[in-house]
Amino acid sequence: MKRFKWNKLINGLVFWTLTYPFGILLGVMFHLLRFLGIIRIENQKRFPYFQKKMIVVSNHPSLWEPLLLVGLFFKNYVFHPVRFAPWSTPDKGNYFDKWYWFFVRPRFIPVPRGKIHAEMRSLVNIIRVLRHGGSVIFFPEGGRTHRGNTFLASQSGKRIRTLRYGIGDIVCRSHATVVPVWVEGTQNVLPNNGSMFPRLWRKVTIKIGKPISYDNGTALNRKDVTHEIAQALLRLADE
C-alpha cells in the first residue's frame, strides 16, 4: 500500500511538472503544423471532444502515431488535463522502457508485444481507465502495419494487419465508444528504419471516422466487435 501511494505521488509530480508541459508543447506543434498545411484533418467535426469512455482506434504505419494523435485532444487537454488527457498505448520496448521517455510515462499504458500475461495486464489497465470515464488511443493491429504477416485490404488496396481480439475484449468489457482514425504519411515523418528524428516537414493526413457506440445494453461478442472495427477502418481509408 505504501509503495502504491508513493508511486501515485511520483506519477502526479512527473505529470504536472513534465508530462503536462510536454503535452502543451505537442499540441502547439500539432496545430502549428496544421496551420502550415503539413497536417490535414478530414471530418474533424466527427470527433467527440467531450465524450467520456472513448477509444480512438487507429492504423499504425509508424512509431509516430502514439504521439501525433494526442494532438486531437488539445482543446480539452489545456484546461482539463486530468479529466481529458488521453492515455496512449505504445509498444513497451519502443517507448516505455527507454529511460528518456520517463516524462510521459504517467499517460502511457505500455503494451509488451508477444508476452501474453503482460499484455493481459495492459488490457486490464486500459479497461480500468475507460470504466473511469477516460480516453485511450489504441492500435489494434498489435504492432506497426509493415511488420504483419496477414492483412486485410480496403477496396482501393489500402492495408491493415488482421486485428487482434484485444480490442474486442476491451470494448466488450468497457462498452466504450470507438472512434476510428486513419492516418497516412506518418511513415515518411518517422521512417521504419530506426530513425529517431521526425521529419516534421512531411505531410500527414488524419481521417476521423464516425463514432461507434457500444453502450446500448446489448450483449457483445469480441469477434464481431473486432470485425466491425476492422471494416470501419478500411471504409475510412477509402473516404
The CATH number of residue 96's host domain is 3.40.1130.10
Residues 65-103 as b/e (b if ≥16 CB within 10 A, e otherwise) read bbbbbbbbbbebbeeebeebbbbbbbbbebbbeeeeeee
Which letter does DSSP use for residue 89 in this model? -
Domains held by the chain: number: 1
Tell me, what's the pLDDT at 81?
A: 85
Q: Would the pLDDT of 219 be above 60?
A: yes
End-to-end, the C-alpha distance of the chain in Å comes to 50
pLDDT, tens digit (0-9, with 9 covering 90-100), for 108-166: 998 887 778 888 999 999 999 999 999 999 999 999 999 999 999 999 999 999 999 99
Cell 502514439 identifies what position?
66
* Total-model pTM: 0.93
Tell me, what's the pLDDT at 60?
A: 97
Distance CA 45, CA 113 (A): 34
Residues 135-155 as b/e (b if ≥16 CB within 10 A, e otherwise) read bbbbbbbbbbbeebeeebebe
- Mean pLDDT within 75-97: 86
CA distances from 234 to 30, 80, 91, 159, 183 (A): 25, 33, 23, 8, 11
C-alpha cell, 233 = 477502418
List CB contacts of 161: < 8 A, sequence separation 6 or more. Answer: 141, 142, 143, 145, 147, 148, 149, 150, 151, 152
CA distances from 4 to 8, 10, 97, 236 (A): 6, 10, 20, 42
Range of the structural domain that residue 194 is part of: 2-237
User: What's the chain's average pLDDT?
Assistant: 91
Kindly report each contact of residues 232-236 with a partner whose C-beta sits within 8 Å and lies 24 or more positions away, as own/partner.
Answer: 232/178, 232/180, 233/57, 233/59, 233/160, 233/180, 233/182, 233/209, 234/152, 234/153, 234/154, 234/155, 234/158, 234/160, 235/154, 235/209, 236/180, 236/181, 236/182, 236/207, 236/209
C-alpha cell, 196 = 529517431
Contact 201, 38 (CB under 8 A): yes
- Mean pLDDT within 62-79: 92
